[in-house]
Chains A and B, each alone.
Chain A
Amino acid sequence: SQKIEQNSEALNIQEGKTATLTCNYTNYSPAYLQWYRQDPGRGPVFLLLIRENEKEKRKERLKVTFDTTLKQSLFHITASQPADSATYLCALEKDSSYKLIFGSGTRLLVRP
């Protein structure tokens, strides 16, 4: 069956360091992958989309990679700040139908 895995353990890092979150998937061949941020008590907010023919995408301090051979995406936040503390969700396109399948998310904690 199709499956998306994100590290369920919280990632705890020091301010200024680079945070790296992982998203692995099986039994998919998605045309694109997305990353969302979710703060407690709020809905997810879109951050970045990367397509299958793109190796890397950047937006300000954010960088996403997409390795379709490894079936993995890495999400990096450079020069992390306490305000980056949140849960980060990856999502894959399903069946070319504007439907998404979400991972369960990884919580990031950035210590001052």
Chain B
Amino acid sequence: DAGITQSPRHKVTETGTPVTLRCHQTENHRYMYWYRQDPGHGLRLIHYSYGVKDTDKGEVSDGYSVSRSKTEDFLLTLESATSSQTSVYFCAINPGQGAQETQYFGPGTRLLVL
């Protein structure tokens, strides 16, 4: 998985609780992304980062926040989890230089909000 780990890999939580998912990379890539994947919707971009402390919203960012204080770590926080945020979350990285547009994905985190 191209030097990307996600933690936790599985989580069950209750509605209204905060949840933080972690993405860690060892590739020193500039760009990092958080997606969610749901049946019938494919992968949808939540937030992405183009450098330390540089982040921007994706198409489904409501209810989510992110932080990147180090190149290797990108955190996704659900401020107050809702059942609609039950999903599989994928982190991806991209070197962001030259003609390397390929994204490399982590193994995913399966989140269930009860």
Main DSSP-derived SS at the A contact region = strand
The interface size of chain A toward B, counting residues with CB under 8 Å, comes to: 21
Q: Compute the total of residue contacts between A and B using a CB distance below 8 Å.
A: 51
The interface size of chain B toward A, counting residues with CB under 8 Å, comes to: 25
Residues of A within 8 A of B31 (CB): 98
The answer to whether A82 has its CB under 8 Å from any CB of chain B is: no
Residues of A69-112 contacting chain B, CB below 8 A: 89, 91, 93, 98-105
Whether B42 lies near A43 (C-beta < 8 A) is: no
A32's nearest neighbour on chain B, judged by CB, is: B101
Q: How far apart sit A90 and B34, CA to CA, in the bound complex (Å)? A: 18
Whether B40 lies near A46 (C-beta < 8 A) is: no
**Other 10 A-B pairs with CB < 8 A, given A8-B40, A44-B103, A46-B102:** A43-B92, A44-B43, A46-B104, A49-B101, A93-B101, A98-B50, A98-B96, A99-B33, A99-B58, A102-B42
Residues of A within 8 A of B (CB): 8, 32, 34, 41-46, 49, 89, 91, 93, 98-105
